[in-house]
A and B are shown apart, each in its own frame.
Chain A
Amino acid sequence: MNALTGHLSELGHGVVTTVELTVVTTIAALLIGMIIAILRISPVPMLRGIGTVYVEVLQNLPLLALLVLFVFALPQIGITFPLFTSAAIVIACYEGAYMAEAIRAGINTVAVGQAEAARAIGLTFSQSLRHVILPQALRAVIQPIGNICIALLMNTSLAAAVGVVELTQAANNVNLIEAQPIEVFTGAGIAYMLMALIIGFTTGRLERKLAIVR
């Protein structure tokens, strides 16, 4: 256990960076996902098209390719951000596409009668969305959104490949010094599992609290 206890501060920094990256990108991805999902069901064909193209492009490109493009290639045309910010922007945009699809799936589960009722009492598109459809849609997809959050947590490790020192990279650095791969990588793996467990537990509780039982 010496390899782990001797480098607690490095590994701790790694965990903190991973948590920060996960929290920031989850919030941003949820916002992006909501906007894109609304675009994809809006009455304006042009906006629907923009939403579809966004989802198609970002779901079909590897996250690592996007990270490499953003971090290494964009500085060539004068677009530079701090490393952490770049990673956060790219991961948020990427996971936003998945969030959008999850939210849209939720909107499709809302009973047709709800939308008809909302229209019958004269609510406009945005009003019916805000007061009737979205509250029910979001409650229906808490579990899928939790799964996306777990995938997002695992995807933050890709930031290591472009130089962000998060948990995976910290573990790798410690291993390069200590040459105790089993201990170090198992420790990191357990840390990831615990974080995923916390996300799963939270979404489970949220779902029991908020889900509509039909």
Chain B
Amino acid sequence: MRNDQKLLFDEPGPRGRRRIKIATIVGVIAVIAAIALAVRQFADHGELAADRWQPFSEWPIWRYLLTGLWATVRAAAATAVLGGAFGLLLALGRLSRRRVLRYLAGAYVEIFRTVPALLLIYVTLFALPHYGLNFSLFWKLVLPLVVSNSAAFAEIFRAGIRALDRGQSEAGLAVGLRPWQVMRLVVLPQAVLRLAPTLVSQLVGLLKDTSLGFVVSYTELLYSGQVLSSFTHLLIQTFMMVALLYLAVNASLSKFARVLQARGGRLFGRRRATTLGTRYRRWFPNGEV
């Protein structure tokens, strides 16, 4: 447990320990009761029978689901690369010195931050073919996601660039770099390093967004589950497996984001970049700065 949370209560005494014990027992009983209830519901409707679960020990079924997962990963990767690049451009546009660029990028971000991705998907599904723009299923899913996620990426990048100490870009300008050189050589490398955990978290959101392939009938993981269950009629079993796969991938990504957070954006090398603050703290341990 972290220290900031420990402040809310004392080291428990005898009575406190007894209360904690009682609360733990109540919690355990509640969890067991919930599980028992779920198992009974399954059993009452014959969903616990071995033949309802046995197919999931066979490779072809898993191969089908894993193919779906691979399609999910591909769609997510395409969205991340395109959306991230476009988002970065939008963020630079919003911070540009040209007013036209600022307004255009700002309008784009404000509009697409508040329009649901599903609505954009309906546009590529039903509106664009009307005007002769008929993409493949993959792009029908990825394009709307790029449009909506680039707005989110733009906000992340903008916040990261603005959060960086002004002194950095001032120093860059002072040694004679041009503004775009300052951005490319000084500001962006530091901002991206600090943003690494946030960007990875955004990846989780993006991977979840690809489940909209269900609507497009692009065979990513969720739609694969749908197709599979329409053959096997094992609805709940299939969707539970699909959920488990999503959980495995996303939980490891979230974990990765936390590791990055703890290591200041770096995976290798120095555990944490020494900042001016930590150096001062080392020089003046008693806080006489």
Contacts and interface: CB of A to CB of B under 8 A. Distances in A.
A172 to B, nearest CB: 5
Given A150-B114, A175-B126, A175-B127, A57 B214 contact: no
B247 A77 contact: no
Contacts of B236: 69, 73-74, 76-77
Contact of A157 (B12, B111, B118): B118
Contacts of A62: 207-211, 222, 246
Contact of B23 (A47, A129, A196): A47
Nearest to B52: A76
Contacts of B189: none
A78 B44 contact: yes
Contacts of A78: 41, 44-45
Given A50-B27, A76-B235, A189 B118 contact: no
Interface stretch (B162-170, B237-245, B264-272, B274-282): B237-245
Contacts of A66: 243
B174 interface: no
B250 interface: yes
B46 to A, nearest CB: 9
Interface in B186-231: 204, 207-212, 214-215, 222, 225-226, 229
Interface residues of A, number: 60
Contacts of A176: 126
A48 B45 CA distance: 33
Interface in A62-116: 62-66, 68-69, 72-74, 76-79, 108, 112, 115-116
Contact of A65 (B10, B211, B251): B211
B254 A60 contact: yes
A65 B222 contact: yes
Contacts of B5: 41
User: Which of B42, B113, B114, B130 gathers most chain A CB within 10 Å?
Assistant: B114
A43 B222 contact: no
Nearest to A197: B114
B175 interface: no
B222 A68 contact: yes
Given A62-B209, A62-B222, A154-B117, 5 more contacts: A46-B24, A65-B246, A73-B240, A76-B235, A175-B122
Interface of A: 41-48, 50, 56-57, 59-66, 68-69, 72-74, 76-79, 108, 112, 115-116, 119, 124-125, 128-129, 133, 150, 154-155, 157-158, 160-161, 168, 171-172, 175-176, 179, 181-182, 185, 188-189, 192-193, 196-197
Give 4 closest A-B pairs by Cβ, nearest first: A181-B127, A60-B250, A62-B211, A196-B114
16 contacts: A44-B20, A46-B27, A60-B246, A62-B210, A64-B214, A65-B246, A68-B239, A78-B44, A119-B9, A125-B8, A133-B8, A161-B212, A175-B126, A193-B111, A193-B115, A196-B114
